Structure 1
Amino acid sequence: MTWPMLIAMSMLMSFNFVDAYFVSLLGTEKLAAFSFTFPVTFTVISLVIGLGVGTSATVANTLGRGDGRRARHQGGVAVVLSGVLVLLLCLIVWLLHDPIFLLIGASDETLPVIAEFMTIWLAGGIFVAFPMVGNAVMRANGNTRLPSVVMALSAAVNVALDPLLIFGIGPFPEMGLRGAALATVIGYGVSSGFILYMLFVRMKAIAWGASWACRIKSARTILSIALPASGSNMLTPVAMAGMTAIIARYGEEAVAAFGVGGRLESLVTLVILTLSMTLPPFISQNYAAGRHDRVRAAYEGTIKFVLLFQGGVYLVLLMLSSQIGATFGKDAAVAEIIALLVVILPLAYGAQGVVILSNSSLNALHRPMGALGLNMVRLFVMYLPLAFIGGKIGGLTGVFAGAALANAITACIAWRVVNGQLCPVTSMNVEEANEPTV
């Protein structure tokens, strides 16, 4: 289930990196403004990811119990619900634009530059909802190939339009940051149209013919998982905003470098993010079907793999740290900070993967409050306090070291929490699980 999604996620996450590269060519001021947008846009995306988690866990659980008709109605409710909630959140961000960005450390001079990007992005924010929630419905049905096509399509459109709209190549106007935002919106818009057509018309995987009582019940079931999951995911950009405020004390160059680091993290933790999408429906269906042995094997196997894989990724990044800094930091100070970040933070990406996959597993087991609590501990008991203390001790190096240490400590806690939720696999229930099923 993971391989097709991994290929598509590579393309999808790469366009964030491509955005950062093209914007960096506009200068440090534009790159810093672009970096301030990341916690806010990721807040909207986190809401959608949470809705996708709730949708995937609910639909997969229903399918695991053999009720395909109800699963289709749940998928239809999820698509409409996600569109409404994203519209509301984008409206709130638009109304509170200046106070939000001032709170996370932007200056009065930077606000108009940030608005160049955010005004267009928020206007098209609803198109973020449909591909992600639609993909969750498909993954719950065991189909990861079509979602991979949808995400690859969105990424390809974005990457193709980025240089044309940012720099005004050919007949296109030179739009700068507005061009980067418009390219992203168009990419999501194209994939939205494609996935809604496939879900409604071709696959008939979602329906809207149930009674209102059934729709309300489905919405409540989805939201019972989606709201805590969204809250858990939205804590990440809130913490990132706090981290941005901490780093802003070290200058505009540090903020610009941290913005590049955030997009680098999305790219090099791609396997983790992909597994966090494919693991939950696998766990939900098998847990509903009583296959607890497969649930435990899947969780433990993915954790071991991620720790080994991210260890290898760190070694590659360590060797390329100077080159990465020089590529994305046209200013020498920015390049130096990027290289420093690459040496320290990725050391704990494997541990961060343990936390992310543990959260996904708890949501799949219908324990969303456990996932929410775990994320709160990671971000607000460990991540921000240790980064702040590290900064007091060792400056910017201490900030990065404190953040890495926080991930390592939380990973140990997450492992124990999830293992406490899993049923012990005995010889008796393994034999029962291996019996033929109807």
Structure 2
Amino acid sequence: MAKPQRDLTTGPIGTTLLAFALPTLGSNILQSLNGSINAIWVGRFLGEGALAATSNANIIMFLMFGAVFGFGMAATILTGQSWGRGDVEGARRAFGSAIGLVLATSIVVALLGWACSHDILLLLATPREALPLADAYLRVIFLGLPASMILVLAMMGLRGTGDSMTPLWFMVLAVIVDTGLNPVLILGLGPFPRLGIAGSALATLIANGVSIVALVAYLNLRDLPIRLRGAELSYLLPDRALVKTIVGKGLPIGAQMLVISVAGLAMVGLVNREGVATTAAYGVTLQLWAYIQMPALAIGAAVSAMAAQNIGAGKWDRVGRITRVGLIYNVAMTGVLVVAVLWFDRTTLGLFLAEGSAAIPIAQRIGLIASWSFVLFGATMVLFGTVRANGAVWGPLVILFVAMFPVRLGIALLAHPALGADALWWSFPTGSAVTLLGATLYYIYGPWRKGRLMVPASSPAAAE
């Protein structure tokens, strides 16, 4: 079999970007499809209360994920820049240091989350009828956090070396195991006990564990660039210089995730006050939005990987063209999905909610007001992906903070007396517009081109 790595520093930008982005898009779609299928199992077998419980728990999980995600993103940029300049050992050193940091951090976060899950749900004003279910679901999800983070980090590292196909295959494996085990563990089919909503979380834990073990074996079997074996296992004990770089850049990136997560948690708290039907409608809408944002996330990741490799190779003339092509692809692909989801909204909502559910018209209203804002979101992801590829992390953090808190939550609170629940949904396009404006100004006028986020060269040849 041919090596799956792709050289992102040569060839036509449009076709190279698309060929790299499509497998990433496939992985993202599978991940969202997996979540949607699991939501269907939960909603159909356990009811709207359980569906509302998973919605609250998943928002919290995104918050915990953001606490360690920044380290992985910083390491991915380092890996991509090292690979772009042909420094394989440097890529492995960066990846190993990230694995060590993320594993230790995710274990700590998982333990804290297990201990505090009930209190966190109370702070969110989780509806009383959904609270026991959300707590049972969230505790098991926390147990699976280390395996989930290592799996995500390994996939990010592979993409940093130009390989977007291998992550796709192992995402397929995780989805097959997860979706297959969900009804078995929820209902207690065959010899398995009936675990209810906790069974859905346990299925995800098992699926991620199986996938990461298989992926590690595959990395070594195929001798892929980020594989670690023999003396290279010492790279799992992070190098001091790498720790400084990964933490210095990773914390602001993680803070960006936390800003989004905390804003999401605050929004869930506001939505919960509108009642169980609105909470369920919002949870289902989030499932549909996960699909709408998939092209933007895939294109943003592809732009970031391509920009990092080209910066590492010193090919700055290609970086601006990569960004422009990414913006064009985002408008085309995200726009098509927005139209499709709105056109067939009742059909898709019927997959999650029973016919005649009070949540259906609420979900339709949410989608009509806010779904189009993901075109703006996608353009922001492309611009942020480019500037992050050279280590610029503080500008995006400030922009996101302003857009999420003074703008989005401000609109949701201040306009609520006049608009009611619609104020919550109008806050999404308002916040997205402000984020895109800030990202555009920073990309054009910001100092992000002056920095260099590079792992120290592992040899004189790599330095040259």
1:363 is matched with which residue: 356, 379, 388? 388
Distance (whole Å) between structure 2 residues aligned to residue 105 and residue 140 of structure 1: 40
1:297 is matched with which residue: 295, 309, 321? 321
Tell me if the contact between 2:80 and 2:160 (Cα under 8 Å) persists in the aligned partners: yes
Offset, 1:37: 0.4
Offset, 1:85: 0.8
The reply to whether residue 167 of structure 1 matches residue 191 of structure 2 is no
With 395-404 and 106-115 compared, the bigger mean Cα shift is at 106-115
1:103-118 matches, within 5 Å, as 103-118=123-138
Instruction: Classify the secondary structure of the residue corresponding to 1:96.
Output: helix
Distance (whole Å) between structure 1 residues aligned to residue 238 and residue 195 of structure 2: 47
TM-superposition CA deviations, 1:108-139 (whole Å, max 9, x none)? 55332212111211112111111111112211
The reply to whether residue 389 of structure 1 matches residue 414 of structure 2 is yes
1:133 is matched with which residue: 135, 150, 153? 153
State the match for 1:353 in structure 2: 378
The reply to whether residue 257 of structure 1 matches residue 281 of structure 2 is yes
With 130-139 and 59-68 compared, the bigger mean Cα shift is at 59-68
Distance (whole Å) between structure 2 residues aligned to residue 203 and residue 193 of structure 1: 16
State the match for 2:365 in structure 1: 340
TM-superposition CA deviations, 1:355-378 (whole Å, max 9, x none)? 223322222120111121122122
State the match for 1:314 in structure 2: 338
Tell me if the contact between 1:11 and 1:155 (Cα under 8 Å) persists in the aligned partners: yes
With 358-367 and 162-171 compared, the bigger mean Cα shift is at 162-171
TM-superposition CA deviations, 1:201-229 (whole Å, max 9, x none)? 53252433558997222222222222211
State the match for 2:460 in structure 1: none
State the match for 1:377 in structure 2: 402
1:59-74 matches, within 5 Å, as 59-74=79-94
Are the structure 2 counterparts of residues 326 and 13 from structure 1 closer, same or farther at C-alpha, using a change threshold of 3 Å? closer
Normalising by structure 1, we get a TM-score of 0.91
Offset, 1:317: 1.8
1:48-197 matches, within 5 Å, as 48-197=68-217
1:245-284 matches, within 5 Å, as 245-284=269-308
Instruction: Classify the secondary structure of the residue corresponding to 1:327.
Output: coil
The reply to whether residue 223 of structure 1 matches residue 242 of structure 2 is no
For 2:353, the aligned partner's letter is G
With 180-189 and 63-72 compared, the bigger mean Cα shift is at 63-72
Distance (whole Å) between structure 1 residues aligned to residue 384 and residue 144 of structure 2: 29
Distance (whole Å) between structure 2 residues aligned to residue 212 and residue 191 of structure 1: 20
Distance (whole Å) between structure 2 residues aligned to residue 101 and residue 412 of structure 1: 34
Structure 1 runs (4+) greater than 6 angstroms displaced: 211-214
Tell me if the contact between 2:52 and 2:276 (Cα under 8 Å) persists in the aligned partners: yes
Offset, 1:104: 1.2
For 1:32, the aligned partner's letter is A
State the match for 2:23 in structure 1: 4
Tell me if the contact between 1:86 and 1:126 (Cα under 8 Å) persists in the aligned partners: yes
For 1:97, the aligned partner's letter is S
For 2:176, the aligned partner's letter is A
TM-superposition CA deviations, 1:325-344 (whole Å, max 9, x none)? 33322262111111112212
Tell me if the contact between 2:278 and 2:359 (Cα under 8 Å) persists in the aligned partners: yes
Distance (whole Å) between structure 1 residues aligned to residue 85 and residue 194 of structure 2: 54
State the match for 2:38 in structure 1: 19
Distance (whole Å) between structure 2 residues aligned to residue 214 and residue 32 of structure 1: 40
Distance (whole Å) between structure 2 residues aligned to residue 226 and residue 254 of structure 1: 36
State the match for 1:431 in structure 2: none
Offset, 1:189: 0.8
Are the structure 2 counterparts of residues 199 and 212 from structure 1 closer, same or farther at C-alpha, using a change threshold of 3 Å? closer
TM-superposition CA deviations, 1:5-36 (whole Å, max 9, x none)? 22222111111111111111111211111111
State the match for 2:352 in structure 1: 328
Computed over aligned residues only, the root mean square deviation of the Cα atoms, in angstroms, reads 2.2
Tell me if the contact between 1:325 and 1:336 (Cα under 8 Å) persists in the aligned partners: no
Tell me if the contact between 2:117 and 2:139 (Cα under 8 Å) persists in the aligned partners: no
Are the structure 2 counterparts of residues 364 and 423 from structure 1 closer, same or farther at C-alpha, using a change threshold of 3 Å? closer
State the match for 1:243 in structure 2: 267
Offset, 1:423: 5.7
Offset, 1:158: 1.0
Distance (whole Å) between structure 1 residues aligned to residue 68 and residue 327 of structure 2: 25
Tell me if the contact between 1:165 and 1:179 (Cα under 8 Å) persists in the aligned partners: yes
Distance (whole Å) between structure 1 residues aligned to residue 419 and residue 449 of structure 2: 44
State the match for 1:432 in structure 2: none
Distance (whole Å) between structure 2 residues aligned to residue 327 and residue 213 of structure 1: 47
Normalising by structure 2, we get a TM-score of 0.86
Are the structure 2 counterparts of residues 209 and 315 from structure 1 closer, same or farther at C-alpha, using a change threshold of 3 Å? closer
